[in-house]
Amino acid sequence: MPTHSLPSGQVEWRRRTPRAVLLRWVCWLLGVLLVVQCWQIMNADTIWEFVYDAPAQGADLLGRMWPPRWSVMDKLWWPLWDTLNMATLGTALGVVLGVPVAFLAARTTTPSAAIARPIALLIIVSSRSINSLIWALLLVTVMGPGVLAGILAIALRSIGFIGKLLYEALEETDPKQIEAITATGASGAQRIAYGFVPQIMPTFAGISVYRWDINIRESTVLGLVGAGGIGLQLNASVSRLAWPEVTVMFIAILCTVAVSEWVSARVRAAII
């Protein structure tokens, strides 16, 4: 226990040893230096005149955004339907592709730990590292703008998410049940169907609904790079500086996200 002797001869308790205190100070100093250095590199090209009037710009923007132009809502129902479809069909495709990847990646179910598992893990990491907007950017370049690019972007991003969470669930399954199924003479497919699937089914349903919720949120902005949905209209309105329309779209996006979050919370509560 670190202590410290006072001049009066009393011994006082201290939380850390002098060495630990010194080490902490050095770490803090290095950390602060790093942040200051980063700040300077980052702001090398910043034009501070534009920054100083940011509050005025912000107030100006709010002034232009209010009141919202509700009439634009008539044009938004179709893009909202597209947004919903991108998220839902994208999630469905992501689930279809992500489940086999998860079974290949889990130590408990992989057919070969030397070849299949690293490949599956690489697919999961690549899919997870790249944001769905970047996937959309890529797909719009390749196959042209439209809802299909959005669906595929959502699906490609979802593979990694579903794959990762599902393979972790597969590795945490109870081995006793699997052993019992194996002991009855079950084949590999039967082991998966009767041993693994019942154990991961609730997790799987929860993950899928959770991902769907995230995908609704992400699909609202995919249109910014041309992948269809409400983001496309948002991009058009921002480029035309039609701020009252932007306000309506923000509200529409917020409501969609709130509804999807509510649905997902209800469904997950029902499953668990």
Partner 1 sequence: MSATTTTTGRRWRPPPFIANPWLRLALYGGVALYLALALGTLQVNWGRVAEGLVRGWAFIAAFGSPDFTSRWPEIYEGMVESLTMTVVSTVLGVALSLPVGLGAARNLAPMPVYLVCRAIIATSRSFPEIIVAILFVKMFGFGPLAGMVTLAFATIGFMAKLLAEDLEDIDEAQVEAIRAAGASWPQLMVYAVQPQVLPRFIGLSVYRLDINFRESAVIGIVGAGGIGATLNTSFDRYEFGTSAAILILIIGIVMAAEYASGIIRKRLQ
Interface residues with partner 1 (CB under 8 A) are 31, 34-35, 38-39, 41-43, 45-47, 50-51, 54, 57-58, 61, 81, 85, 88-89, 125-126, 128-131, 133-134, 137-138, 141-144, 146-148, 194, 198, 201, 205, 217-218, 220-221, 224-225, 234, 238, 250, 253-254, 257-258
Taking the CA atoms of 101, 208, 160 and 231 in sequence, report the sign of the dihedral they define. Answer: positive
**Tokens coding 152:** 């595929």
Name which of 31 and 100 has its Cβ closer to partner 1.
Answer: 31
CA–CA distance, 245 with 58 (Å, rounded to integer) = 17
Q: For strands 11-13 and 3-5, give the pairing.
A: antiparallel
**Which two structure tokens, joined as six digits, stand for 71?**
């009439």
**Which residue, 111 or 197, has its beta carbon nearer to partner 1?**
197
The DSSP 8-state label assigned to residue 75 in this structure reads: G
Decide if 234 contacts 246 (C-beta within 8 A): yes
Shortest gap between Cβ of 224 and partner 1 (angstroms)?
6
| Nearer to partner 1 (CB atom), residue 57 or residue 111 | 57
Q: At which residue do the structure tokens 């940011």 appear?
A: 54
Smallest separation, CB 42 to partner 1 (Å): 4
Taking the complex as a whole, the smallest distance from the CB of residue 233 to partner 1 amounts, in Å, to 13
Q: Least separation, in Å, of the C-beta of 54 and partner 1? A: 4
Interatomic CA distance for residues 145 and 202, integer angstroms: 36
- Closer by beta carbon to partner 1, 111 or else 119: 119
**Using CA of residue 87, residue 92, residue 93, residue 99, what is the dihedral sign?**
positive
Q: Compute the least distance from the CB of residue 53 to partner 1, in Å.
A: 9
CB of 142 to partner 1, least distance (A): 4
Helix extents (H) in the chain: 18-42, 48-52, 54-65, 77-105, 116-129, 132-143, 147-171, 175-183, 188-191, 197-219, 230-239, 243-271
Task: State how far the Cα of 258 lies from the Cα of 254, in Å rounded to an integer.
Answer: 6
Measured from the CB of residue 188, what is the shortest distance to partner 1 in angstroms?
Answer: 15
> For partner 1, which is the closer residue by CB, 6 or 142?
142
Residue placing its CB nearer to partner 1 in the complex, 98 or 218: 218
Considering the complex, state which of residue 9 and residue 40 has its C-beta at the smaller distance from partner 1. Answer: 40
Let me know: does 230 contact 193? Beta carbons within 8 Å.
no
